[in-house]
Amino acid sequence: MSNPSSPATAGRFITLEGGEGTGKSTQVRRLVAALEAKGITALGTREPGGAPGAEQIRKLMVEGEPGRWDPITETLLAYAARADHVARTIGPALLKGSWVISDRFNDSTFAYQGWGRGVPRETIRRIDAAVLDDFAPDLTLVLDLDVALGLERAHRREDGKASAENRFEKFGTDFHEKLRQAFLDIARRNPQRCKVIDAGGTEDQVAEAIFAAVSQRFDL
């Protein structure tokens, strides 16, 4: 797969990563709105999902019981969805010069299926290389939050509305602690690409921190 964010395009690819309840979906919407207020065409998207086929795979991954899939099957599902997402949504938008803001990307697979479920990092790296061919975000914002608070927020979010997309929330607290450490480790390993954002503040405070990081990186 060729890299759709080559220097010949004006688009930028930004990802928001983090555990459950860190507010990524809300902050994707906020960032898209802030960029558009600056006159930048921006598209918000998500993983798993973001394209018709990928959304069908999403249902397989995020619904049901924790033991529905073994770890390697889950990893392959994630990359099948990601391939569709890049080919049908992210790539075309970047080639048109749009900025793409995604709620999760490949770092989530290294965290969830790697650290969380025990798939060897090298196995995921090989799959990643085959599917993405070195395509990577221009900037990744890791939303960091205390695990207990994040899970509380996630459960509160579901109050009063039916949501079948809670499969990963059903994994134990130890699993979610591993996820938090995984995302922080990814940020440490990739300091040029990643910026850690404290997600413990108000929605406005987090949005301001995110836009400041984006503005600094891209000289807005």
Residues, the chain, total?
A: 220
Please tell me the predicted confidence (pLDDT) of residue 169.
80
Which residues are 141's β-sheet partners? 16, 195
Q: Is the pLDDT of residue 9 over 90?
A: no
* Percent of the chain surpassing pLDDT 90: 80
Please give the residue that has the higher pLDDT: either 4 or 67: 67
> Is residue 187 included in any domain, yes or no?
yes
Q: Is the pLDDT of residue 2 over 80?
A: no
CA distances (Å), 130 to each of 2, 80, 125, 126, in order?
11, 11, 9, 6
Indicate the burial class of 65 (C-beta count within 10 angstroms; 0-12, 13-18, 19 or more): exposed
* Percent of the chain surpassing pLDDT 70: 92
Nearest residue to 3 via CA among 125, 100, 131 = 131
pLDDT band at 67 (very low <50, low <70, confident <90, very high): confident
Q: Is the pLDDT of residue 7 over 70?
A: no
Nearest residue to 169 via CA among 182, 181, 186, 154 = 154
Contacts of residue 78, defined as CB under 8 A and 6 or more positions apart, other chains included, come to: 47, 48, 61, 108, 109, 112, 113
> Is residue 6 included in any domain, yes or no?
no
Taking each helix axis from N to C terminus, what angle separates 71-85 and 52-62, rounded to the nearest 10 degrees?
A: 160
- pTM score, whole prediction: 0.91
pLDDT band at 44 (very low <50, low <70, confident <90, very high): very high
Q: Please state the domain count of the chain.
A: 1
66 neighbors 171 (Cβ within 8 angstroms): yes
Mean pLDDT of 89-113: 97
> Is residue 84 included in any domain, yes or no?
yes
Please tell me the predicted confidence (pLDDT) of residue 182.
96
> Is residue 200 included in any domain, yes or no?
yes
Please tell me the predicted confidence (pLDDT) of residue 163.
63
**Worst-scoring range by mean pLDDT, 28-32, 64-68, 183-187, 207-211?**
64-68
CB atoms within 10 A of CB 8: 6
Distance of CA 138 to the CA centre of its chain: 13
Nearest residue to 181 via CA among 131, 142, 216, 137 = 142
Instruction: Give the range of the structural domain holding residue 40, as residue numbers without chain letter.
Output: 13-218
Tell me what the pLDDT averaged over the chain comes to: 91
pLDDT in tens, 129-148: 999 999 999 999 999 999 98
84 neighbors 53 (Cβ within 8 angstroms): yes
Return the CATH number at 76.
3.40.50.300
Backbone angles phi, psi at 203, to 5 degrees: -55, -40
Which residues are 144's β-sheet partners? 198
pLDDT in tens, 145-180: 999 888 888 777 655 444 667 788 888 899 999 999
Mean pLDDT of 102-115: 97
Q: Is the pLDDT of residue 122 over 90?
A: yes
46 neighbors 81 (Cβ within 8 angstroms): no
Distance of CA 120 to the CA centre of its chain: 20
> Is residue 42 included in any domain, yes or no?
yes
Please tell me the predicted confidence (pLDDT) of residue 148.
86
Q: Is the pLDDT of residue 6 over 70?
A: no
> Is residue 8 included in any domain, yes or no?
no
Mean pLDDT of 71-75: 97
